């Protein structure tokens, strides 16, 4: 069954409110076996709602609309849908009393504007809203295989979610649909999207409309989403497992987990398995690396401590970096990073000492060391390994990108 989603609201278009409803509904559709083929956001405009409603009904069996059911003048979804179907709005007296009762229970008089929420397009069924005054609406039309279904809910997330889970899904999702869309996400780092696609070119022979592979790039990470439509192809799940195995054969060293795994959890897990301990010395990342590691439950078994040595005197006093190295090569240098890593390893008596030092911007760069220059060092019993990074010009992204790269370096060190 194909579905389409229309989220309504000027506040979504201008970025004043993040559209979390679309993400949640999209995920719920996948879990429920609905194929969401269209998702759009439109302004609080009758013409915009009409245009997108027409387009969605032409390609989908069921259409969801969220937002614009409130009591104020800019909440026009109800009226716009009624005019689209040429259905008059009729006052539902029982609904009006329910809305009035909600206010009375709070010791308030119902504002006259809320009476708009009791106006229902003729032929539509109301959906109870247990968490708010705006009811949802349901309309079904057509015959046999051409039957279309339309659902309207408020845009307030907790109201919308309750209505979907308790009332809408039972009307839409049949038992055989659940689980008919299977997904698996392979998580990779240390390789770019285009390079990954080139290495995985052999997987294209396994793909078709019922088994797809999507590349979802992030900050020094790529997610590979495998999707199998088992309702249309009973062997799609088996084929997806073959695809998963082929990906592992082609790019084994870049894979760190599945689905909701995080890179830091993968690193901590491997450290625990290997019985290795770690400590961090951070300058440019300001504690973000140690924060990422200690966000993982159980990290106390492997994360022994850390020092944020932002000041050069701290590098000398707390980590034992030589004054000569700082004076001759500077704080952002291979020599300083190596000294920091060795110092933190010695201070906490751990298997691996990790250090970061760099220029995160927006100022502080030079011709020889531009913004985004970062030196990373890993020190263990065999010596020190260093790496020069050029992470970019945005301060916050530079810190995040550096941490991701360092976590991957630790992952590879364990391997």
CATH architecture of the region 263-414: Alpha-Beta Complex (3.90)
Determine the straight-line distance between the first and last CA of the chain, rounded to whole angstroms. Answer: 45
Strand-pairing partners, residue 89, are 121
The whole-number pLDDT of residue 144 equals 67
What are the residues whose beta carbons fall under 8 Å from the beta carbon of 14, sequence distance 6 or more? none
The whole-number pLDDT of residue 175 equals 79
Q: Helix, strand, or coil here: 191?
A: coil
CB 374 within 8 A of CB 394: no
Report residue 408: phi and psi, to 5°: -65, -35
Alpha-carbon distance values, 277 to 129, 280, 352, 385, 408 (Å)? 53, 11, 6, 17, 16
Q: What angle do CA 362, 365, 367 make, to 5 degrees?
A: 140
For domain 181-258, the question of CATH label 2.40.50.100 is answered with no
**Domain(s) of CATH 3.40.980.10: residues in the chain:** 2-172
Question: What DSSP element (H or E) covers 125?
Answer: strand 125-127
Residue 128: how many other CB atoms lie within 10 Å:
13
Angle separating helix axes 395-414 and 263-274, nearest 10 degrees? 30
**Domain(s) of CATH 3.30.70.2860: residues in the chain:** 181-258
Its sign, for the CA torsion 365, 370, 371, 373, is negative
Its sign, for the CA torsion 329, 334, 336, 338, is negative
Q: In what order do the strands lie in the sheet with 136-141?
A: 35-42, 2-8, 62-66, 148-153, 136-141, 125-127
**Domain(s) of CATH 3.90.950.20: residues in the chain:** 263-414
For residues 345 and 249, what is the distance between their CA atoms, to the nearest angstrom?
A: 35
Tokens of 45: 């405009």
CB 303 within 8 A of CB 353: no
CA neighbor of 355 nearest in space, from 296, 290, 263, 270: 290
The whole-number pLDDT of residue 331 equals 97
Q: Helix, strand, or coil here: 388?
A: strand
Tokens of 163: 């209505």
CB 343 within 8 A of CB 320: yes
For residues 376 and 281, what is the distance between their CA atoms, to the nearest angstrom?
A: 10
For residues 97 and 275, what is the distance between their CA atoms, to the nearest angstrom?
A: 66
The whole-number pLDDT of residue 216 equals 95
| pLDDT tens-place values along the chain, 415 residues long | 899 999 999 999 999 999 999 999 999 998 899 999 999 999 999 999 999 999 999 999 999 999 999 998 889 999 999 999 999 999 999 999 988 998 998 899 899 889 999 999 999 999 999 998 899 999 999 876 689 999 999 999 999 999 999 999 999 998 778 778 899 999 999 999 999 999 999 999 999 999 999 999 998 999 999 999 987 888 999 999 999 999 999 999 999 999 999 999 999 999 999 999 999 999 999 999 999 999 999 999 999 999 999 999 999 999 999 999 999 999 999 999 999 999 999 999 999 999 999 999 999 999 999 999 999 999 999 999 999 999 999 999 999 999 999 999 999 999 8
**Which stretches does DSSP call E strand in 381-414?**
383-390
For residues 360 and 340, what is the distance between their CA atoms, to the nearest angstrom?
A: 18
Its sign, for the CA torsion 292, 297, 300, 301, is negative
What are the residues whose beta carbons fall under 8 Å from the beta carbon of 153, sequence distance 6 or more? 64, 65, 66, 69, 127, 129, 136, 159, 160, 163, 164, 168
Please compute Rg for the chain using Cα positions.
28
CB 392 within 8 A of CB 401: yes
The whole-number pLDDT of residue 178 equals 77
For domain 2-172, the question of CATH label 3.40.980.10 is answered with yes
């Amino acid at each position: 069954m194909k579905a389409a989603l229309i989220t309504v609201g000027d506040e979504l278009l201008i970025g004043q409110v993040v559209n979390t409803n679309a993400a949640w509904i999209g995920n719920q559709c996948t879990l429920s076996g609905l194929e969401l083929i269209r998702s759009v956001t439109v302004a609080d405009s009758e013409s915009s709602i009409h245009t997108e409603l027409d387009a969605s009904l032409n390609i989908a069996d069921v259409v969801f609309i969220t937002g614009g059911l409130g009591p104020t003048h800019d909440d026009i979804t109800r009226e716009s849908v009624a005019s689209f179907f040429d259905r008059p709005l009729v006052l539902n007296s029982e609904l009006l009393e329910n809305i009035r009762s909600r206010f009375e229970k709070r010791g308030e008089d119902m504002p006259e504007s809320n009476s708009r929420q009791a106006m229902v397009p003729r032929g539509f069924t109301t959906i109870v809203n247990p968490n708010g005054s705006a009811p949802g609406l349901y309309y079904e039309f057509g015959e046999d295989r051409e039957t279309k279904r339309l659902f309207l809910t408020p845009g307030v997330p907790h109201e919308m979610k309750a209505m979907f889970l308790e009332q809408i899904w039972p009307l839409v999702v049949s038992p055989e649909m659940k689980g008919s869309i299977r997904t698996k996400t392979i998580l990779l780092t240390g390789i770019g999207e285009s390079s990954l696609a080139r290495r995985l070119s052999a997987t294209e022979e396994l793909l078709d409309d019922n088994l797809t592979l999507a590349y979802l790039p992030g900050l020094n990470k790529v997610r590979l989403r495998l999707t199998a439509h088992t309702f249309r192809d009973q062997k799609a799940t088996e084929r997806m497992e073959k695809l998963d195995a082929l990906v592992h054969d082609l790019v084994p060293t870049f894979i760190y987990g599945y689905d909701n795994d995080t890179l830091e959890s993968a690193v901590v897990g491997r450290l625990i398995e290997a019985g290795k301990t770690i400590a961090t010395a951070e300058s440019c990342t300001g504690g973000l690396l140690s924060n990422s590691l200690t966000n993982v439950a159980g990290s106390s078994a492997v994360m022994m401590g850390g020092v944020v040595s932002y000041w050069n005197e701290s590098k000398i006093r707390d980590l034992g970096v030589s004054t000569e190295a700082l004076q001759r090569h500077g704080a952002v240098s291979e020599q300083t990073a190596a000294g920091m890593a060795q110092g933190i390893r010695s201070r906490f008596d751990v298997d691996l000492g990790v250090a970061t030092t760099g220029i995160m911007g927006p100022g502080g760069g030079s011709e020889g060391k531009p913004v985004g220059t970062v030196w990373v060092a890993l020190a263990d019993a065999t010596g020190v390994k260093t790496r020069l990074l050029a992470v970019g010009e945005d301060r916050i992204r530079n810190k995040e990108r550096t941490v991701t790269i360092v976590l991957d370096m630790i992952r590879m060190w364990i391997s």
